[in-house]
Copies of this chain bind each other. A is one copy, B any other.
Amino acid sequence: MARRDPLEVANALHRAAIRLLRTVRVADNETGVSAPKLSALSVLTFGGPQSLTSLARAEQVTLATMSKLVSDLEAEGLVAKRVDREDKRGLRIEVTAKGRALMEEGRKRRLARLNKLIAKLSREERAQLADAAEIMMRIAE
């Protein structure tokens, strides 16, 4: 069943990851906010308020790209920008109540969708997936 060849393992994970992301994306589309914006919002939600630079780094995009994404999110009332008190060049970007509500909704939607899939699995299989995720996180940077 299990291939030991690294390339086979990598390819299998690659394909599986793409499929998984496709499934999740459906739920995300329903929020009316694009994937890059949702992702940035997620970093802010779970990582706490932070500068544009650190957000850009977390999302692996340029500062310019993130500047636009955050401006859009601000225009939609999902985040708020404030000048950093200690460094007036810098921003402190934080999630608004509305932004938090949207994330929570999204979380529920995603859960509903994934529950249908994951519910098919046994306790052991779920544990296997959790372990695999942990391994992947450890090796991927």
Nearest chain B residue, comparing its CB with the CB of A14: B24
CB of B117 within 8 A of CB of A139, answer: yes
Shortest C-beta distance, A134 to chain B (Å), equals 7
A57 at the A/B interface (Cβ < 8 Å)?
no
Determine the interface band of chain A, counting residues with CB < 8 A from chain B.
35 or more
A110-141 vs B, Cβ < 8 Å mask (1 yes, 0 no)? 11001101111101011111111111110111
- Interface SS of A by simple majority: helix
In the complex, besides A2-B130, A15-B133, 19 extra interface pairs with C-beta distance below 8 angstroms are A1-B130, A2-B131, A2-B134, A4-B123, A4-B130, A6-B118, A6-B119, A6-B126, A7-B111, A8-B130, A9-B133, A10-B111, A15-B137, A16-B133, A16-B137, A22-B60, A120-B139, A125-B135, A129-B136
